[in-house]
Amino acid sequence: MSETVKYLLPEERLPRAWYNLVADLPAPPPPSLHPATGACLTADDLAPLFPASLIEQDASTERDIEIPEPVRDIYRLWRPSPLYRARRLERALDTPARIYYKYEGVSPSGSHKPNTAVPQAFFNQQEGTKRMTTETGAGQWGSSLAFAANLFGLEVDVYMVKVSYQQKPYRRAAMEAYGARCIASPSNLTESGRKILAEHPDSTGSLGIAISEAVEMAAQRGDTKYGLGSVLNHVMLHQTVIGIEAMEQMEMAGDEPDILIGCSGGGSNFAGCAFPYIGRKLRDGNDIRIIATEPAACPTLSRGVYAYDFGDTAHLTPLLKMRTLGSTFMPPGFHAGGLRYHGMSPLVSHAMDLGLIEAQSFQQTECFAAGVEFARAEGIIPAPETNHAIRAVINEAIACREEGTQRTILFVLSGHGHFDMQAYTDYFAGKLTDLPHDEAALARSTDALPEIQGVKPLISA
């Protein structure tokens, strides 16, 4: 019994550089394209939305990108995050597998999101930004950016999908505690918001509308920029502190993962842990299996097509080459709000295309069952998103037991569920139903992809 559970690194071992997967890939990722002209996206195209240093990171081919000291100093508030050996879960499953998890719920906002919120706020402040805008659905990203931007003296406007604004007052309160302004979207503050409200005064909003409002507000003011919590290369980059630390901690444990698992919505917590391991796999040729998990109701990697698509429903964003269900795909209202995105990080999609990772999708009730099993063994109540990773972990561990094979499994526990307990309440009340994706809707939304519409660049891409 009395064996180490937590592998802790001292602050001195905080990574000094983020890891850029692009440097090790056998083929560069396809470029992003301007939505109007179809030309390759330039730094100038993005300048109204992002500071130059982040745009540069998006395009960088350097392997190691230095983490500025002021960012490391804030990371110290919770990083290096602990790596746990799930000894109690192993015993509960009676498996020969060794299960480890990298726990990102120790951050102030309870998830991995501040890993990128902090550098985004830092680089914005360095380049003179006074205010940041962003959108948030469930509120995980909004509260993380609110936390980070406050530390650099930036104002933050968070456009929160109105139905979440009303139903999730806890997250809103967290944003306000950090000094951010939280605005129910659609709002009267923007053109896009006013247009929606004129047509649908009772609109409860959507992530697509909230993105439009946040982007519009950032684009029209010189001192205001936009922050995005997933999908883009620089976000994946910042999250690699997870995997870099995990590698060193696995070494402390004297072990090495055979399987790495993370849940994937826009891709950031998965990429954060996986990319350093993919890089090593590419350099060393080891045969680690890397699995991204997602909801059956929004199976972007498992069932999406690899094509150029818009990042938002309003078609304001650049065209990104990615696994997508089509920007008009509306996933049903399941409980893992962080996994309800029609697209996927272009870099994660590219890694999938190169055969470096695999994907698995799960129904929500089997995911909550896994989360409850985990909580009863290990104590931590995981976020609904994370339960998708845990489902896969438990399945693999059971397979080890049945085959009598020892394997080492590492997964990212992206956040705790303390803000998401309504989902557990609904689960225990039997109110959750399994929601497979709608085949007909998927056919319609992928049919409506821009390449079908003959957008010029897509032909040449």
CA 100 from centre of chain: 20
Q: In what order do the strands lie in the sheet with 408-413?
A: 6-7, 83-85, 98-103, 408-413, 259-263, 289-295, 358-362
Q: Which is nearer to a second copy, 372 or 461 (CB)?
A: 372
Scanning the structure block, which residue is given the tokens 């972990």?
393
Q: Which is nearer to a second copy, 15 or 343 (CB)?
A: 15
Q: Which is nearer to a second copy, 115 or 361 (CB)?
A: 115
Q: Which is nearer to a second copy, 78 or 306 (CB)?
A: 78
Number of residues that bind a second copy (CB under 8 A): 51
Write each residue from 423 to 442 as x if it is in contact with a second copy (CB under 8 A), else as -, in one continuous string. -xx--x--------------
Q: Which is nearer to a second copy, 60 or 150 (CB)?
A: 150
For a second copy, which residue of 17, 77, 253, 461 counts as binding (CB under 8 A)? 77
Write each residue from 222 to 261 as x if it is in contact with a second copy (CB under 8 A), else as -, in one continuous string. ----------------------------------------
Least Å distance, CB 424 to a second copy, is 4
Which residues does residue 293 pair with via DSSP β-bridges, in sequence order? 263, 360
- Residue 137's alpha-carbon distances to 141, 163, 341, 345, in angstroms, are 8, 9, 10, 18
Query: Hey, CA dihedral for 55, 414, 204, 177, is it positive or negative?
Result: negative
Instruction: Report d(CA 216, CA 199) in Å as an integer.
Output: 19
Least Å distance, CB 42 to a second copy, is 35
Nearest by Cα to 32 from 42, 22, 24: 42
Residue 19 and residue 275 in contact, taking contact as beta carbons nearer than 8 Å:
yes
133-172: contacts with a second copy (CB under 8 A): 147, 150-151, 169-172
Which residues does residue 155 pair with via DSSP β-bridges, in sequence order? 131
Q: Spell out the residues 6+ positions from residue 439 whose beta carbon is closer than 8 angstroms to its own.
A: none
Nearest by Cα to 282 from 355, 346, 348: 355
Write each residue from 343 to 372 as x if it is in contact with a second copy (CB under 8 A), else as -, in one continuous string. ----------------------------xx
What are the structure tokens assigned to 22, written together?
Answer: 């692009």
Binding interface with a second copy (CB under 8 A):
1-2, 4-6, 8, 10-11, 69-70, 72-73, 76-78, 84, 88, 106-110, 147, 150-151, 169-174, 176-179, 371-372, 375-376, 378-381, 416, 418-419, 421-422, 424-425, 428
